[in-house]
Amino acid sequence: MALKNDQYNQILREFDSRRLKNKHELDNRRQEAFLHIPELKELEEEMISLSAQSGRMALLGNDSCLNELKAKSLELKARQIELLLSNNLPSDYLDMRYQCIKCQDTGYIGNEKCNCLKQAIGDLMYSDSNIKSILAHENFSKFSFRYYADDYLDDSIGLSPLSNMQKVVANCKSFIKHFNIKHDNLLLLGNTGVGKTFLANCVAKELLDKGYTVIYLTAFRLFDILEKYKFGKDQDSSYNASNQFDYILECDLLIIDDLGTEFYNSFTNSQLYLIINERLLRKKSTVISTNLSLSDINVNYSERVYSRIISCYSVQRIIGEDIRLHKAVNGSNLV
């Protein structure tokens, strides 16, 4: 997942700016709190003094005095929280707030890259996917079952579109809940406009919020990257494609949207198998959405691809009317 120096420096500058922003916001909160609650400033000064004393006692090995100082510090902290809450302020009002608690917005946990830094690298390499702005509108808080009928049963599954979608959503939420334990994969099947991409984005949003790395690619974009990686002659293009290829294999969740819209040939078949199989071996989860049926996948791709999907993916079939067409006809803005 190597980047050119200027690309990597760009990301690190963004993390520097994030930490400066955190510090600026904390300074503003402290100034406001001390102005309205002067005792808070006195408590902070006393806690700083106790911290310095504790450091000296630790160096001297004076455990008895150190325990007394720690107890006093806890009392002061409790009083600080009491004052904040009594003035309708959150208990962590005077604490630094981070976008990523795990690395405290440094991008590293020890010598290892934090997932937030890995995601920033992915966002830079796939900046054209624009996934974060999409997820602001396509997530479970915006999801609605109202477009799925409940007045008939589909002969092939014996469920109404509504009951079926409720089951599919429950399975997707289970996939999220057990993501780092089971390393499952999802295949979302259904006609155009039934909500496959929207649901895949809901899954992506939940996992991004949990700190996992997620890459979203249309099938067309995926195979374009793979072609440049394998055959690219331009040095810069080949370099970028190599980085992208590595990340496709390593990210926690890969979403391949609209499988089947690309041009089928022996290259796409072999590369799809490579991606699916390699990620299975690495215990990395994948979500694939497609308008194709299982029989179509068997016909259009190799038997090896079909076998891997059937045996290693949870197949979620979505039925119903074209939601986009419904919204266009009725002028609805609801999801």
Task: Write out pLDDT tens, residues 233-269.
Answer: 555 555 567 778 888 999 999 999 999 998 888 999 9
Query: Residue 1: what pLDDT?
Result: 46
Q: What is the pTM of this model?
A: 0.72
- Residues of the chain with pLDDT below 50 are 1, 333-335
Q: Which residues contact 78 (CB under 8 A, 6 or more apart)?
A: none
Neighbouring C-alpha atoms within 13 Å toward the C-beta of 154: 17
Neighbouring C-alpha atoms within 13 Å toward the C-beta of 208: 22
Calculate the alpha carbon distances from 275 to 59, 244, 255, 258, 292 in Å.
55, 12, 12, 16, 19
Q: What is the tens place of the pLDDT at every residue in 318-333?
A: 999 888 777 766 655 4
Query: Residue 129: what pLDDT?
Result: 53
Neighbouring C-alpha atoms within 13 Å toward the C-beta of 267: 13
Query: Residue 151: what pLDDT?
Result: 92
Query: Residue 264: what pLDDT?
Result: 84
Residue 49 CA to residue 225 CA, distance in Å, equals 57
Calculate the alpha carbon distances from 173 to 217, 254, 286, 334 in Å.
21, 17, 15, 21
Query: Residue 125: what pLDDT?
Result: 66
Please, which residues bridge with residue 254 across strands? 215, 286
Query: Residue 169: what pLDDT?
Result: 98
